[in-house]
Every structure is written in C-alpha cells, then in structure tokens.
Amino acid sequence: MSALKSSLSKGLKELRIHFCQTSPASNGLREFVGQNYAAIKKANPELPILIREASGAEARVFARFDKGVERKVTLQNASTQDVGKLLEQLVKST
C-alpha cells in the first residue's frame, strides 16, 4: 500500500476504477477507494484517477501506461487489504 501513497512511476498515465455501488462483491474496492483515494491523489496530483460507479459493474481497475499499454485486475470479492496488494502489483507491471 505504501507504493500507492508515494509518487508513482511516470510511465503510469491513468487509473480507471470500476465498481458497483451496492454489490457485496465490490465492497473491498469501495472501502479501499473511500479510505485511500485522498492520500493517493495527494501523492500523485497529476495522475488522472477515474472512478466509475455503475449498477452491476464488475469490480476492476485498469492502469494505462506509456505507449497505450493497458493492464487490468479484477477485484470481485477482494478484501480491502487484497485490493491494496493487487493494485501495487498492477501499477508496477509496466
């Protein structure tokens, strides 16, 4: 989690977070965003972090890197701690 709250790689161009507002499968991601968004944004003010809530949406995060490379991780039923670990791996996966 500490990697997300510090300055991220310049190769990371965008984070897109998708989840359902009510689904139990999105609880971990919703809680993670609620607890950590401000600290991540403060450490990375120039990084676009797009949050999309939609009914029935699968909990997942997309990371866009240099040259249009995109990676995604699905976070259905993940705990808040698991979300942090998986996001750290995702942003380091350039």
Asked if 77 contacts 28 with a C-beta cutoff of 8 angstroms, the reply is yes
Kindly state the average pLDDT of the residues 41-70. Answer: 94
Whether 29 and 17 have beta carbons less than 8 Å apart is answered as yes
Which pLDDT band, with edges at 50, 70 and 90, does 93 fall under?
A: confident
pLDDT tens across 16-43, in order?
999 999 999 999 999 999 999 999 999 8
For residue 59, pLDDT beyond 80:
yes
Neighbours of 24 (CB within 10 A): 9
pLDDT value, residue 10:
79
Quick check: pTM over 0.85? yes
> Considering only CA atoms, which of 81, 41, 33, 42 is closest in space to residue 61?
33
One DSSP character per residue, 23-44 reads -GGGHHHHHHHHHHHHHHHHH-
pLDDT at position 5 over 90: no
